[in-house]
Amino acid sequence: MSKLNPPIGSEDHSQGDVNASVTLVEYGDYQCPYCGEAYPIIKRIQNKMGPQLRLVFRNFPLTEMHPLAMGAAEMAEAAALQDKFWQMHDTLYENQDTLDPDNLVEHARRLGLDTVKLKADLAGKAVPTRVRSDFKSGVRSGVNGTPTLFINGVRFDGNWTDEGELLDVLKEAAV
């Protein structure tokens, strides 16, 4: 069984109570069709589990297969610097067919981001460094495709497309 390396830290993007009884970590790629399929499943599970579940997202852009994934991941990280990571995360998954640079800027505008700051952050070192750090942590954790899920620090190798199975495993982990 693969374990999450490094463990969740304060720098991770997290939704839900930090003291939730179960934490789901997703390594994802915004251009990956499977991640796009997982997105609404995870949203529904978050709604069903409520305060029992904490969700953490880490970037794992598979750039050889998904040429727009890196730009999307960097846009999400730049949005995070304006406290809008999750809004951008959701926008990117809900608009996977519009991840080209012009549309990414348009998504940022619609979210009310300061586009001057955004462009400066995208041109700087912190944003790409963050994406690389997430990617390297995925490699250390045994991630080789997306989405890859970890439940309380242990890789979930079950069928994430079976919402019932994933929900059952998460509820069992929450006990």
**pTM of whole model > 0.85?**
yes
- Taking CA 9 as the corner, what is the angle to CA 140 and CA 173, rounded to the nearest 5 degrees? 80
Q: What average pLDDT score do residues 59-79 get? A: 98
* Letter string b/e over residues 99-126, b meaning 16 or more CB atoms within 10 A of that residue's CB: beeebbbebbeeeebeeeebeebbeeee
| 134 pLDDT more than 90 | yes
97 CB-contact burial (10 Å; exposed 0-12 / middle 13-18 / buried 19+): exposed
CATH fold of 13-170 reads Glutaredoxin (3.40.30)
User: Can you tell me the distance from the alpha carbon of 99 to that of 79, in angstroms, rounded to the nearest whole number?
Assistant: 15
Q: Give the pLDDT confidence score for residue 89 in this predicted structure.
A: 98
Q: What average pLDDT score do residues 31-57 get? A: 98
Q: Between 1 and 105, where is the model more confident?
A: 105
* Residue-averaged pLDDT of the chain: 97
Q: What average pLDDT score do residues 140-150 get? A: 97
pLDDT band at 175 (very low <50, low <70, confident <90, very high): confident
Q: What average pLDDT score do residues 2-28 get? A: 96
| 1 pLDDT more than 90 | no
Whose CA is closest to 169, among 52, 20, 156?
Answer: 156
